[in-house]
Structure 1
Amino acid sequence: MKPRYWILIAVLVAVVALIVAMVMIFAKSSGPHGYVADNYTRAAQLDIPGDDDNEAYTSPKAPPVVSREITAKWRPQSESSDAAGIYLRYSDDAIVIQPNGPGSVIHLMDADDAYRRYHSHLGGIWAWSSTYEEGFRGGGPGEGK
Structure 2
Amino acid sequence: MGRGIWIALACVGVVVALIVAVLAVFSGGSGPRGYVPAHYQRAPALDIGGSRDDEAYTSPKPVPVVAREITSRRRPQSQHSDASGVYLRYSDDAVVIQPRGTGSVIHLMDADRAYRHYHSHLGGVWGWGGHRGETFRGGGPGSGK
Give the TM-score category using the shorter length: 0.7 to 0.9
Name the SS for the 2:27 alignment partner.
helix
Alignment partners' CA distance in 1, 2:51 and 2:24: 20
Distance 1:111 1:132, change over 3 A: closer
Aligned match of 2:65: 65
Distance 1:142 1:84, change over 3 A: closer
Name the SS for the 2:104 alignment partner.
strand
- Residue ranges of structure 2 left out of the alignment (5+ in a row): 1-21
Aligned match of 1:90: 90
Pairing of 1:24-103 with structure 2 (within 5 A): 26-103=26-103
Alignment partners' CA distance in 2, 1:24 and 1:103: 30
Alignment partners' CA distance in 1, 2:53 and 2:24: 14
Offset from partner CA, 1:30-62 (integer Å, 9 cap, x none): 311110010000001110000210000000000
Q: Is the 8 A contact 2:97 2:106 kept in 1?
A: yes
TM-score between the two structures when normalised by the length of structure 1: 0.74
Name the SS for the 1:91 alignment partner.
coil
TM-score between the two structures when normalised by the length of structure 2: 0.74
Alignment of 1:120 with 2:100, yes or no, is: no
- Residue ranges of structure 1 left out of the alignment (5+ in a row): 1-21
Alignment partners' CA distance in 1, 2:128 and 2:45: 30
Name the SS for the 1:109 alignment partner.
strand
Name the SS for the 1:28 alignment partner.
coil
